[in-house]
Amino acid sequence: MNVGFIGLGAMGREMAAQLLKAGHQVKVWNRSPEPVAALVAQGAEAAATPAAALAGEVLVSMLADDAAVESLLLDEVLLAAATITVHVNMATVSPELARRAAELHQRHGIGYLAAPVLGRTDVAAAGNLSILAAGEAALVDRVAPLFAAMGRQTFRLGERPELANVAKISTNFLLISAVEALAEATALAEASGLAATDLLEVLTGTLFPGPVYAGYGSMMAARSYDPAFRLALGLKDVNLALDAGAATHVPLPIASVLRDALLEGIAHGDGGLDLAALGETARRRAGAA
């Protein structure tokens, strides 16, 4: 399949690489040139401008936030000039943006799918992402080979694209809640004389097995926070949850606590660290940092 790919951050570059490995023709664009050069070395073609990446059959985008999607892809001129017939937006954006994007694409005769993903960069590099897809069923069928290259499973969440974004925002809200609770429990254990590694062994061996507690707990215990899901992106997602809650009149009191914890971590210079750095915020509150 002839694919344009816009947005080569930590996740996007791994996803584009999986498309190349699967034999798709991929034309890539990114603000910074380094990931473009790396993918060109793997067989991709560089696009000189975002518009140049819209010359294939399908556009896949993995941009940081609503503002980036607005500025790069929702310009009427760009869409009017595009030859693509389907745009797959795999970023975590607001449901409101997804609704407006779907309407704008429809006016230009372009299909629009929302397909945010679950998984960190190592999961993307292995082609094992979980893809949350929503939009016209025939379009999902059409791009299924791309999803198969990038992920191990695709969840079909209906014909309204914004529902995929609701699912992603809800999932990330729950994930960040779990990490914050784990951070507080770890701080309590350490302040009481119990090693974080011993608490983690109990948690993952009994009530809380699985990658969330094992992965984030190990990072907290080791106090090693190489960025994958940065605190700053966690704050973006919590704010998306709060905005969605306000729009639907759903109170999210825990989200307000998470927002403040993330802001506190960012204020202490941790915004570029992994979400597990919430453990440092909890330690600071306990006077143990």
In which order are the strands placed within the sheet that holds 45-46? 45-46, 25-29, 2-6, 58-61, 86-89, 111-114
Regions of the chain short of the pLDDT cut 70: 76-81
Alpha carbon distance 38, 257 (integer Å): 40
- pLDDT at residue 76 in the model: 60
Q: What is the pLDDT of residues 175-219, one digit of tens each?
A: 999 999 999 999 999 999 999 999 999 999 999 999 999 999 999
What are the catalytic residues? 168
Predicted TM-score (pTM) of this structure: 0.93
Residue 287: other Cβ atoms inside 10 A: 8
Distances (CA, A) of 177 to 21, 81, 242, 245: 36, 43, 13, 16
For 92, phi then psi, to 5°, come to: -90, 105
Under 8 Å between Cβ of 102 and 115: no
- pLDDT at residue 263 in the model: 98
- Asked if the 2-160 domain carries CATH number 1.10.3720.10, the reply is no
Fold: same for 2-160 and 166-285: no
Name the residue with tokens 């307000």.
256
Domain positions in the chain are: 2-160, 166-285
Assigned fold of 166-285: N-(1-d-carboxylethyl)-l-norvaline Dehydrogenase; domain 2 (1.10.1040)
